[in-house]
Amino acid sequence: MASFLPISKEDLKMRNWDYVDFVYVIGDAYVDHPSFGHAIISRVLDAHGYRVAIISQPDWKDKESITVFGEPRLGFLISAGNMDSMVNHYTVSKKRREKDAYTPGGIMGKRPDYATVVYGNLIRQTYKKTPIIIGGVEASLRRLAHYDYWSNSLKRSILLDSAADILIYGMGEKAIVEIADALNAGIDVKDITYVKGSAYKINSPVEDFSESDDSIVLYPYSDLLADKKNYAKSFYIQYQNTDPFNAKRLIEPYPNGISVVVNTPAMPLTTQEFDDIYEYDYTKTYHPSYEPLGGVAALSEVKFSITSNRGCIGACNFCSLNFHQGRIIQARSHESIIKEAKAMVKDPDFKGYIHDVGGPTANFRKPACKKQLEKGACKDKQCLFPTACKNLEADHKDYLKLLRELKAIDGVKKVFIRSGIRFDYLIYDKDESFFKELIKDHISGQLRVAPEHVSSNVLEKMGKPDHSVYERFVKRFDELNKKSGKKQFIVPYLMSSHPGSTLKDAVILAEYLRDINHQPEQVQDFYPTPSTLSTCMYYTGLDPRILKPVYVAKNPHEKAMQRALLQYKNPANKDLVIEALKAAGRTDLIGVESKCLIKTYHKDKSFKANTKTNFVKSSGFKKISDTDKKAGKKKTIRNVHKKK
């Protein structure tokens, strides 16, 4: 029977352990489920014979909180959690979030801001020479100098600020075992400089690397601070060196002779290696000590979902996946996924519905083309942008077969897809079998897809295909729905204030929403997270691909106007929308015409805005009739628009 790894000295006694090899300090609650990075890394080490103990959400104001297990034999591991701690804590408007889904009971404030840095320095205060290895999303995306939105500054590599010895970037399963084996063999942590998917710091001259064909010396940190254009150049070099087949080692110099060296990425997992990760004896739930607080909300989102792939060939400019998981798709075998699903059916809480089968993008199950498995993803080309590459192999046969196998399992009523469909990849597949079956069996009324915008100016800066591709998809979706007798809808994810988006572009998007008669319940404002092309544009005002200026909406009021335009029907947004339309020179959208975003009905001099009678006359509403009053209905105003 699966059991949790130790979280206390009492747990060590139960296992008859008198020491641990690694103490793993995590910013999330301890959830032993493979959707949580700390669960995978700890189980990988456990499977290789290493003793791992967990310290979840230690009190960072008390250095004794990380001494629970004493000094580990090999080292400390640190992860801020499944999210960057600053994204976890703050909205895009930099307001503190009220709840933390990765903390028991949703309590906010159980981890510090910049958690990796704080935990690292907390450990180093007590354990001066014990190796510290940092990883997870926060460390991965901050491995070199990076723009930090929350402090509005260019920060150094997190490796330097956290007092760590080694940084693991990407998913980390291969790197952590190689590092553990090296430490176990007695190799000094300072000499572990050869592991793919890792970064380390040196005090030797940069000139030692400059003649090497497999290394690139980036702009020194001081030059990045001096000129944002230097940062744009440096970032694009990094962006072009994230592929395990063709990337070069990167060296970033800092003052006082220190440099950060980023080795080339780890190779993609084979199908067998990927399957092995999901074979470990996970408990698949949160630690029972969290039960009194109501458990961990983040688990409910993934408990009955299945991860089938990693990586994303889409490489949208605002997404960090290129830097973290890479562009080469890795997929689990059908056998591994079916086995997980059959175990899921036995869970007493399972109601017959598999909520999702996917990954970063659900309908990617193989590399974009055969070339990627030999030479990697192209440095200067993208698979789907600006148009589909001629070598792209858009094929859903394997995914469709997998879904059919899952659906056939006894006890499974429905298999849904919720992790996102890449609509352009889908529309490029000439075989519509998957598209038809998607509509027939795998949508729960609404399909969420991410066109993000409609303006060509903005889409180009996003790295998204032209809006005409999305329109093709919508048209075919509607046609197939009609043929199947279904009444299902597309819910588009849209983004405001992305670099390149002016108020005029936001108005174009609002007009589109008017034309499709849709108002999003929530608006996604561009969030400048570390290490994305879009964040580089936001910080530098330059497109790093071509080093030309990009319009960036940074003023909070303008950003509010762009958001308001996407929800122009909301009465609370009326004043902002009017202001935005005037600023954009689009007062033609204020008036009585059907195409207007803001309706006005006071051309008649007798109109009085504050009288209920004139509101009723001007808006097409009418008062409830005397007959209805007698029927017991309240004396209210109701919408009874007459058909014209």
CATH number of the structural domain spanning residue 412: 3.30.750.210
Residue 211: inside a domain, yes or no? no
Check: CB of residue 480 under 8 Å from CB of residue 439: yes
37 and 184 together in one domain: yes
Residues of the chain with pLDDT under 50: 604-644
Helices 173-184 and 37-47: crossing angle in degrees, nearest 10, is: 40
Tell me which of 197, 224, 250 is where a domain ends: 197
> How far apart are alpha carbons 363 and 397 in whole angstroms?
10
Predicted pLDDT of residue 614: 34
Q: How many CA atoms lie within 13 A of 163 on its CB side?
A: 16
Check: CB of residue 179 under 8 Å from CB of residue 168: yes
> How do residues 273-331 score in pLDDT, each as one tens digit?
999 999 999 999 999 999 999 999 999 999 999 999 999 999 999 999 889 999 999 99
Number of domains in the chain: 3
> How far apart are alpha carbons 424 and 426 in whole angstroms?
5
Residue 24: inside a domain, yes or no? yes
> How far apart are alpha carbons 358 and 12 in whole angstroms?
37
188 and 317 together in one domain: no
Beta pairing, strands 75-79 & 52-56: unpaired
CA distances to 18, 20, 328, 613 from 9, rounded to whole Å, are 9, 11, 42, 74
C-alpha closest to that of 22 among 62, 79, 61, 63: 79
CATH of the domain at 24: 3.40.50.280
| Tokens 């641990």, residue located | 20
Tell me which of 394, 424, 444 is where a domain ends: 444
Amino acid, res. 369: C
Q: What region, left, alpha or beta, does residue 594 occupy, with left being phi > 0 and alpha being psi -120 to 50 degrees?
A: alpha
DSSP letters, 549-586, are E------HHHHHHHHHHHTTTSGGGHHHHHHHHHHTT-
DSSP state of 90: B
For the chain, the residue count is: 644
Check: CB of residue 236 under 8 Å from CB of residue 535: no
Residue 419: inside a domain, yes or no? yes
Residue 157: inside a domain, yes or no? yes
Rg (CA), the chain: 27
Residue 641: inside a domain, yes or no? yes
Residue 243: inside a domain, yes or no? no
> How far apart are alpha carbons 560 and 87 in whole angstroms?
20
DSSP state of 309: E
> How far apart are alpha carbons 170 and 322 in whole angstroms?
10
Helices 574-583 and 556-566: crossing angle in degrees, nearest 10, is: 110
List helix spans (H) across 185-242.
207-210, 221-226, 228-239
Check: CB of residue 188 under 8 Å from CB of residue 158: no
Residue 519: inside a domain, yes or no? no
Predicted pLDDT of residue 210: 60
> How far apart are alpha carbons 486 and 437 in whole angstroms?
12
183 and 310 together in one domain: no
> How far apart are alpha carbons 142 and 158 in whole angstroms?
6
Please give the residue range of the domain that contains residue 362: 304-444
Residue 152: inside a domain, yes or no? yes
> How far apart are alpha carbons 130 and 147 in whole angstroms?
30
Tell me which of 159, 181, 197 is where a domain ends: 197
